[in-house]
Amino acid sequence: MANQTIIPGPASAAAVTRPVVRRRLEPILFNTFNTLFMIGLVIVTLYPFLNTIVVSLNAGNDTIRGGIYLWPREFTWQNYKAVFASGTIYDAFWISVARTVLSTLLNLGLTTMLAYTLSRREYVFRKPITLIFILTMYFNAGLIPGYFLMKDLHLLNTFWVYVIPSMISAFNMIVIRTYIGTIPESLVESARIDGAGDFKIFIRIIFPLCKPVLATIALFVAVGAWNSWFDAFIYTSSHQELSTLQYELMKLLSSSMNANGNPAVSNGVGMTQGSSMVTPISIRAAVTVVASVPILLVYPFMQKYFVVGLNVGSVKE
C-alpha cells in the first residue's frame, strides 16, 4: 500500500521537459502488458482446476469423446453419486476428516504449550530444550529407521500413525513463540501476582491471545494432514479400512496412468452402479474435487492471517 504514494501526479509530468508522448505512452503500455500477464496467470492457474470440475459434472461416456473445456455437455451428478456410493472412498473421506481434525487440535494445543514454556526467559531448561527442537528442523533419521521405529512402537496399521508422529513442529513452535514475544509481559506478571501458575496463565491468557497466529498454524497443519498420502502408502497400505482420501486418489491416478487410460482398470469404483455414464476419468475428476474443495473453501478467508504468520516465521530465532 506504501507504493500508492509514488504515483507521479500530472503536475510532475508536465514539469519535466522530456518527450511528453513517451512519458504518457510508457505507463499505458506497461499497464496493458502487466494486466494481460496477470490475466494469463489467472487462466493458467484456474483452467486445469475448472476443467476438472466440469469433467466431474459431465457424463463419463461423453467426456471420452473429448472437447470438454469449461462447460459440461451432458450434465450429471452420477459421478459424485458413484464416488459416495463406493464404500472405500466414503470411508477414506471420513478417515481423512478425522486425522485432519485430530492433528490440528493436538498440534495447536501442544505446540503452543511448548512455545509458551520456551518463551519464558526465567525457565532454567529453556536453552537446551529449544536447541533440541530446532535441530530437528535440519535433519531426519530417514525413511528406513523411521519405519522401524513405527514398527517397534506398534503403530503400523493403526490410525494413530497418522497423528502421533507429527504432533509438534519446531518451525510452528518458533512462529508461535515469536508471536508470544509480542504479548506484553505485564499481563503475565499481573496474573502471577494474582496467584496464577504457569499452566493457568497459559490457558487463560496466552492461548486466547494467540488466536491470529493460531489461525495460520491451524491452516498449515490442516492442509498438511489433509493432503498427505505417504504415511498411508508406507504404514497402513495393507489395511484398506485405514486408507485416506488422498491415497485412494493416488491409487486411481496410478492405475489409470499405467493402463494409459484403459477404462477396464478403475479399482471397482462405480462399477457397482452398472452405469456406462461413469468412467475412471470422471470418477478421478470427482474424487479430485472432493479432495480439494474443503481446503479451497477455507483458505481465501485466512489470507490476511497466513500472510502475516508467514512473515513472522521468516524472522528466525
DSSP per-residue letters across 156-191: TTSGGGGTGGGS--HHHHHHHHHHHTTS-HHHHHHH
* Phi, psi (deg, nearest 5) at residue 66: 85, 175
Q: Which of residues 298-317 bind another protein (CB under 8 A)?
A: 299-300, 303, 307, 310-311, 314, 316-317
For another protein, which residue of 11, 21, 44, 264 counts as binding (CB under 8 A)? Answer: 44
CA count, 13 A, side-chain hemisphere, 261: 5
**Judged by CB under 8 A, does residue 26 bind another protein?**
yes
Stretch that binds another protein, among 81-89, 127-135, 180-188, 265-273 (CB under 8 A): 127-135
Closest distance to another protein from the beta carbon of 229 (Å): 6
Stretch that binds another protein, among 42-50, 78-86, 187-195, 210-218 (CB under 8 A): 42-50
What number of chain residues touch another protein (CB under 8 A)? 94
* Phi, psi (deg, nearest 5) at residue 119: -90, -10
For another protein, which residue of 10, 11, 122, 184 counts as binding (CB under 8 A)? Answer: 122
**Judged by CB under 8 A, does residue 66 bind another protein?**
yes
Q: Which of residues 184-203 bind another protein (CB under 8 A)?
A: 197-199, 202
Q: Which of residues 262-291 bind another protein (CB under 8 A)?
A: 284, 288, 291
Per-residue x/- track, 226-265, another protein (CB under 8 A): xxxxx---x-----------x--xx--xx--xx--x----
Closest distance to another protein from the beta carbon of 140 (Å): 7
Sequence-separated contacts (24+) of 251-254 with Cβ below 8 Å: 252/280, 252/283, 252/284, 252/287, 253/284
**Judged by CB under 8 A, does residue 97 bind another protein?**
no
Closest distance to another protein from the beta carbon of 141 (Å): 4
**Judged by CB under 8 A, does residue 160 bind another protein?**
no
Closest distance to another protein from the beta carbon of 271 (Å): 21
* Phi, psi (deg, nearest 5) at residue 58: -105, 145
**Judged by CB under 8 A, does residue 129 bind another protein?**
yes
